[in-house]
Chains A and B, each alone.
Chain A
C-alpha cells in the first residue's frame, strides 16, 4: 500500500461527507440556474395589464373562457378564444387537440408565451369543468363574478 491508499477510516468518512455536500451544492446551483430560466410565472388577464413579461418568455395564464369567443381556423386544428377575469381579457391562440372539458364559460389554465402583438400563444391547455374543481391558480379569483360582469352583458 502506498501513501495514497492509507486513508484513515475517519478521513474516508469525512471525504464521503464532503463529496455528498459537494453534490448537494451542485444540485442546488444547477437547479437555481435552470429555475431562473425555466420557471414560468402565473398571470391572469388583470395582472398581465399591470406587469407585462417579455414576449417569448414562458408563462402560464388562467381565467375563464369568454362565452361566444371560441373560433376555429380553417385548418381545423387552431382555435382562438378570449380568456377573461373580472377586469381584463386576453386573446389566446392554440394549435392542437383541445381537452374534452374545454368549453366556453369554464376555467382554463394555459402554458405558453406572449407574442409581440400581445396575443398569448398556448402550448398546452388545462381545462376542468366541474363544480368541485377550479384550477388551483384560479382558486382565489372570483370566477362567477368574472362571468357575470362581462358575459351577462354580451349574451
Chain B
C-alpha cells in the first residue's frame, strides 16, 4: 500500500512536469491537471488508510501514531506531522488545479492554460520537496510493536481540523497567485480575470478565518488557560496571509465590478501567496522559536526557502516586466467606495508590514549577533492604532457610492453609529475607567461598527438583497463582535492565583469558587487527576472539572482547564 502511494505521488509529479511544459500545450494542460489532482487524491487516501490501520512498517506512521489511539486521532495523525501535512498541501494544490480545469469556463482559454501551467509549476516544486526531502511513505524495517504516538497536546478535536483548514486557505491563495501570473503572461488583467479569481480568494479567506479561529480556540482551552493569541511567530505566519487575503478580497471586488485597481490587485495576489510561502517556511524550518515549530530541519528549511525565492522572486520579476503592458483601469475620486477600499488595503498592508517586521526582526538581529525576542507588547503597541483607523473607515466606507460621493450624503447615515459608539464608550468608562484609552476607543468603534454594518441593508427589500451584500454585512458585524470581545478581554478580565486545598473557597470578580474534591479519572490512553469546583454568583451555581492528564503514548503530562 505504501509503495503504491509513493508510486502514485511520483507519477503525479511526472504529470505535473508535463503540464508545466508550456502554454501552447493547452490541449494537454487540462487533462494533465485533472489526472494530477486525481492521482494525488489517491496517494493521500493511501496515507490516510495506512494511518487508519496503523501500518507500523511505514516510518511516518510508526513515529506519529500508536495502536491504542482513538480512530479519529489516528486519522488526524495523517496531517499532524510534517510529511503528511505536506502531502495534504500538495493534494489540495493539485485538486484545485483540477477544479479550475473542470469548472472555469468564463475566462479565455489562453489565460486558463497559463494559469494551469503556473499551478502545475507550483505543484512540481512541492512534489520535488515531498519526494526528495519529506517522503511520507518511507519504510521502516523492522516494524516496531506499537508506534511512538502523537503528542498529546495535538490529540484534540479542535486541532484535528485546524491544520487542514489552514492548508485549504494557503492553497486557495496559490490559485489566486496562479491566476495573477497567468493573467500577467497573457496581459488580460480585467474584470473577467477578477471574477474568475474572486471565488478562490473568498474560499481561501473563509478557510484561513476558520483555521485561525480553530487554532485560537484550541489555544484558549488547551494551551493557555484563557489566552487566545500570543503573537507567536507561527500564529503570525497564519495572520500574514490572512491580512493579505482580506486586502485582496476587497480589491478583487473593485476590479470585478468597477474595472479599477488592476495592477494593485495583481500585486496583492502575489503578496498573499508570498506570505503563505513565507509562513510555511517559518513553520517548517524551525528558524524561529515557537511552541509550534514541528520540523526543525535546516535542509527542509533551505528547500522551502529556495522554492519561495524561485516562485515569488520569479513572479515579482514578471510583475515588474509586464505590468507596464496592463492598461490603467477606470479612475475614481478619493471619496468613493473605491477610495475607501484603497484605504482599507493600505491600512491592512501597513498592519501586515508591522507584523512581518516584528516576526522577522529576531532573525535579522541574530545576523548581527544579538538574540532578541519580540512579543505581544510590540505587536499590540504598533498594530492597535492602525486597526482602530481601519475600524473607523469601516463604519462609513460601505455606505459610499462607487466612483464619487458627497460627504453630506453619507454623514446623514452616520448619526445612529456615532450615537451607539458614544453610548458604548460611556458605559465602558462607567464599568471600569482604568481600562485605558485604547480599550474604550475599541469598544466605542466596535459598537458603532455593529450598528453601521447593517446600514447597507437600509432601504433594500430584504428578500431581494443579493447574497454578497449579506456576506459583507455578516462579516463586518462579525468583526465588530470580535473587536468587542478582544477589547473587553484586554480591559476587563481579572485573574487570581491561589493555592487551594479541598474545602477551600476563593472569590474572584464576584464569583465564589469552592474546591469540593480531587480524584482520579481514566480515559482511553490517559489517566488524570480531576478537581471538582463549585462556582457560584448571585445564587446561580455551576461546576467546573479541570484535569491534569498523564498520557501513556508518548508519556507526557498535560493540564486541561475546565471547559
Contacts and interface: CB of A to CB of B under 8 A. Distances in A.
B559 A100 contact: yes
Contacts of B498: 75-77
Interface stretch (A38-46, A63-71, A85-93, A147-155): A38-46
A52 interface: no
Contact of A34 (B261, B382, B497, B556): B382
Interface of B: 225, 261, 263-264, 286, 288-289, 328-329, 331-333, 342, 346-347, 349-354, 357-358, 361, 365, 370-375, 377-378, 381-382, 385-386, 404, 497-499, 548, 556-559
B285 to A, nearest CB: 12
B353 A42 contact: no
Given A27-B352, A31-B357, A35-B378, 12 more contacts: A20-B346, A23-B349, A27-B351, A27-B357, A31-B353, A34-B358, A37-B378, A37-B381, A39-B374, A75-B498, A97-B225, A100-B556
Interface in A85-122: 95-97, 100-101, 109, 111
A16 B264 contact: yes
Contacts of A26: 350
A38 B375 contact: yes
Contacts of B372: 39-42
Nearest to A78: B497
A5 B289 contact: no
Contacts of B342: 16, 19
A140 B347 CA distance: 40
Contacts of B264: 16, 20
A35 B375 contact: no
A50 interface: no
Contact of B328 (A13, A35, A75): A13
A18 to B, nearest CB: 11
Contacts of B354: 27, 30-31, 34
Contacts of B286: 136
A35 B382 CA distance: 9
Contact of B357 (A7, A35, A40, A136): A35
B404 A5 contact: yes
A69 to B, nearest CB: 20
A113 B358 CA distance: 20
Interface of A: 4-5, 7, 9-10, 12-13, 16, 19-20, 23-24, 26-28, 30-31, 33-35, 37-42, 58, 60, 75-77, 95-97, 100-101, 109, 111, 135-137
A141 to B, nearest CB: 11
Contacts of B351: 27
A30 B378 CA distance: 10
Given A19-B342, A23-B353, A100-B557, A39 B328 contact: no
Contacts of A58: 375, 377
A23 B346 CA distance: 6
Contact of B353 (A12, A27, A75, A109): A27
Contacts of A13: 263, 328
19 contacts: A13-B328, A19-B346, A20-B264, A27-B350, A27-B357, A30-B382, A33-B382, A35-B378, A37-B381, A38-B378, A39-B374, A41-B370, A75-B498, A95-B497, A96-B497, A97-B225, A97-B559, A100-B557, A137-B289
A23 B557 CA distance: 47
Contacts of A111: 373, 375
A3 B329 CA distance: 19
Contacts of A31: 353-354, 357-358, 361, 382
B350 A23 contact: yes
Contacts of A77: 497-499
A40 B497 contact: no
A37 B288 CA distance: 21
A52 B370 CA distance: 15
A75 B358 CA distance: 37
Contacts of A95: 497
A39 B349 contact: no
A7 B378 CA distance: 40
Contact of B333 (A5, A35, A38): A5
B333 A75 contact: no
Given A12-B328, A31-B357, A38-B378, A97 B497 contact: yes
A78 to B, nearest CB: 9
Nearest to B382: A34
A5 to B, nearest CB: 5
Contacts of A19: 342, 346
Contacts of B548: 100
Contacts of A100: 548, 556-559
